[in-house]
Structure 1
Amino acid sequence: MIDTEGRKPYSKLGYHEVGKQVSNLKKISDFKWLDKQQGYDVPLYSQRTVVQFNSTYMELIGRQDRIRGDITTWGFFFFSLIVYALYVMGVLYLAVLVNSTPLSMVVIFFHYHTSSYFNSCTASTLNRTIYLYLPIRFNRKTRKVYVRQANRKVDIFDWDELKFYMATTYKDGGDIRGITLADDGMTITGMFSLPFVSDLTAKEILGGTQLKQHFEFVRRYMEGDDKQLKEVKNAIRYIHPVYKKRETPLVSFQRATLAALDSDENMEYPKEALRLHWTHLAVIIQLWLRYLGRLLSINTSITPKFSPEIEAESQIDPNDPHDLNKHLPEGNIEEANQPIWKKLVVSIALIVFGIIMLFAFALFVDIIGSIRGHHPDFFGRLWYLFSFKWLF
């Protein structure tokens, strides 16, 4: 593994197993090795993770994409706390000027360090959203894997040296990790995650149906012959071309909904993966916050670029018949060919949904305020604004 920026590639990341013995992996919940050389007889699930696809390389979106709106929402939560802490600190400073006491100095010291801590947390949180996505590029020609990590560095892995396992590594579910080992064959020197995260139970993850389907999709691309390359290509219905343009509000809503519903179906087929039920009303506010956070994050992020050296190793044949960015798959064609009236209806529906959720959120805040003895009346203020009574 090589860090192309010459710095520690795993600082401030969640890959705590790097630098430890490979035997420690077996202590992770639902741990199971995956065999690169063995083909798994399962359907191929790309799970809407493909950014670029051709005969030379396949580029996938990073694991963090599914929680993108969450990160931004939490960032603004920390920012609000900072503003509040600074406000209180300013009031206390004025109080000290009037009547300085040891107790007030202690309180000021506490609030100063509290605001500094929240500022650090916010910077760390928003730092992970600086890029539009964190690409993982699998090059069939060079047999290299290029991974942009959350610390903005690019790591280069040799596919033939990678070992893969699946496990329940985080509270948000199970995923598949690729690792490299030192010459002793025991110490983990590098690690990255495949994009898809499964939210199944521990027993189901151990069986790993969805995870194996995603792994086999990647494995067959790197290990397969031309016939299997075509099989991988045919499994893709959607290309997510964020390397050259930002996703539309409708795509953001679809992806936020898939994350909020924790769907483990084949996300290439939204009519199956987005089966709605009345119980989903319980997460509608969460969905709205995720959607707003995702919209803000997507439209304030930088598009990542690989170095000229990596791009030189990723040259595409202009006549490549498997270039899906030139020959869009079925799902993208359906979206591109939607009539204008349908796009307009969807846009209006998203706006109406946003307004309704604003009122729902305002009502929720008013109820909480009433319980605490306050009456903020945010709902009434919103009604005054959207009823246009202020114009008369």
Structure 2
Amino acid sequence: MFNPFKRLPADPSKRFYKPFLRLSDKNISRIYSQSAGDPDVKALSGFDSVVRINSTYLELIDRFYKWRGTNTLAGVFFFCIFFGLFCYNTITAGLGWGRYSFGVWFGAIIIWSITLPLSIGLYRLMTSEIFFSTYYPIRFNRKNGMVYVYQSGGTVLTIPWKTLRFAMYETKMPLSTQWTIVGCVPGEDGDTITRTIPLPIDLSWGPEMMLVYWEFIRCYMEESDEYLPDLADTVPWCPPVENRREGWLFGLLYLCKQVSRLGLVVNALQFPILFVLSFPRWLVMRTSTIPVWPSEVEAACRPDENDPVNKGAEHNPPQIWRSMLAWQGKERFAKVFAREHSASDRIVARLKAKYGEENDAG
């Protein structure tokens, strides 16, 4: 039961309800194999979720990073409505003290009993993002085979990569279906889920696009070092959140980002809402602390001094807004994304050659 007096957890991942309780749940569409690649994958992409990639670790944003500020905006809007109604009812009742009938007072008490708990709950929602962390990173360490999940207060959940089971599930929306990949920590029976770690993205483009994202992570953790340069080249740009706060303009661009010019039509309709949302998002970023990994995690994830693979926000292309909004002509698009697409094609060819032959032999 909802308790308006209980404070919301600071860590967004802890507010993420378990979409299923067992790996055998009917809501699960697929459980991915970590050891074997899928030769049918069409491409690989980090879908703008990569904070840093090098030969030691891959760091991703959290799933709720994209819509940071939404709870703050919704909380402020509805809190003002319901708390304003509560205050108005209180003032009018005070001014009419001794003159109102029993029916009027009974109606006032009903309004108080509804608006006050709602106001408290909305206050919790309004303050559920500020003064916490700008984002909650997830690190995949390919050298020691560990996954590190940053949580509120600087605590870190450490789980062996091989222990996790990654499942794709779908959520029915009013006008579409969304797919999400969740890392699951199974219990002793191998089926009951004791913990879930949602990966950063959910998409409505179809389950085959989730495979594009999954193979990006799986290849990083499982395949040989020769894949790493190409994996890094599939990342066109990185969110500038590592050791710094996201700026207001980048936050607005991130809310509006799209993969093709066709998205301009949709974004044009949504822009007034996204523009308003960019301000509470900026407030959340300014009031929140920058996540700092514990020293033991940093030591375990320390890259080689002359690591040939290293990409972060400092390597973002100039005029990044063009890439984020797909605001460029065909020639510029082909030039900017030629490396990304060719790197993805090379990885796909390797996967087909390696795992296609294994399937044929089987």
Query: Smaller-chain TM-score range?
Result: 0.7 to 0.9
Q: How does 1:194-205 map to 2 (within 5 A)?
A: 194-200=199-205, 205=206
The one-letter code of the counterpart of 1:319 is: N
Distance 2:67 2:146 in 1: 27
Given that 1:220 and 1:228 are in contact with CA atoms closer than 8 Å, whether structure 2 keeps it comes out as yes
State the 1:257 CA deviation: 0.7
Which residue is equivalent to 2:286? Answer: 299
Which residue is equivalent to 2:46? Answer: 46
Is structure 2 residue 317 aligned with structure 1 residue 333?
Answer: yes
Given that 2:71 and 2:125 are in contact with CA atoms closer than 8 Å, whether structure 1 keeps it comes out as no
Distance 1:300 1:214 in 2: 32
Given that 2:138 and 2:148 are in contact with CA atoms closer than 8 Å, whether structure 1 keeps it comes out as yes
Distance 2:126 2:182 in 1: 23
Given that 2:79 and 2:122 are in contact with CA atoms closer than 8 Å, whether structure 1 keeps it comes out as no
Which residue is equivalent to 1:230? Answer: 229
State the 1:53 CA deviation: 2.1
Of residues 163-172 and 148-157 in structure 1, the stretch that sits farther from structure 2 once superposed is 148-157
Is structure 2 residue 147 aligned with structure 1 residue 145?
Answer: yes
Q: How does 1:111-190 map to 2 (within 5 A)?
A: 111-113=111-113, 114-124=115-125, 126-128=127-129, 130-148=132-150, 154-169=156-171, 171=173, 173-190=178-195
Q: In the superposition, relative to structure 1, how do residues 153 and 111 fare at CA in structure 2: closer, same or farther (>3 Å)?
A: farther
Given that 1:9 and 1:153 are in contact with CA atoms closer than 8 Å, whether structure 2 keeps it comes out as no
The one-letter code of the counterpart of 1:166 is: M
User: Runs of 5+ in structure 1 lacking a partner?
Assistant: 1-7, 266-272, 339-392
How does the TM-score come out when normalised to structure 2? 0.74
State the 1:67 CA deviation: 1.8
Runs of 4+ off more than 4 Å = 8-11, 149-153, 276-280
State the 1:96 CA deviation: 5.4
State the 1:187 CA deviation: 0.9
State the 1:12 CA deviation: 3.8
CA RMSD of aligned residues (A): 3.1
Distance 2:319 2:90 in 1: 52
Distance 1:11 1:101 in 2: 48
Q: Which has the higher contact order (CA 8 A, sep 6+)?
A: 2
How does the TM-score come out when normalised to structure 1? 0.68
**Residues matched between the structures, number:** 305
Distance 1:322 1:226 in 2: 10
The one-letter code of the counterpart of 1:230 is: P
Of residues 79-88 and 143-152 in structure 1, the stretch that sits farther from structure 2 once superposed is 143-152
Is structure 2 residue 245 aligned with structure 1 residue 240?
Answer: no
Which residue is equivalent to 1:388? Answer: none
- What fraction of aligned residue pairs are identical, expressed as a percent? 26
Distance 1:67 1:157 in 2: 26
Which residue is equivalent to 1:324? Answer: 311
State the 1:276 CA deviation: 4.4
State the 1:308 CA deviation: 2.9
Given that 1:53 and 1:59 are in contact with CA atoms closer than 8 Å, whether structure 2 keeps it comes out as yes
> What SS is found at the alignment partner of 2:66?
helix
Given that 2:57 and 2:142 are in contact with CA atoms closer than 8 Å, whether structure 1 keeps it comes out as yes
Q: How does 1:1-392 map to 2 (within 5 A)?
A: 12-17=15-20, 20-24=21-25, 26-28=26-28, 31-40=29-38, 41-95=41-95, 97-99=97-99, 101-113=101-113, 114-124=115-125, 126-128=127-129, 130-148=132-150, 154-169=156-171, 171=173, 173-200=178-205, 205=206, 208-258=207-257, 263=258, 265=259, 273-278=260-265, 280-325=267-312, 328-329=314-315, 332-335=316-319
Distance 2:22 2:152 in 1: 23
User: Runs of 5+ in structure 2 lacking a partner?
Assistant: 1-10, 323-362
Q: In the superposition, relative to structure 1, how do residues 11 and 222 fare at CA in structure 2: closer, same or farther (>3 Å)?
A: closer
Distance 1:44 1:183 in 2: 33
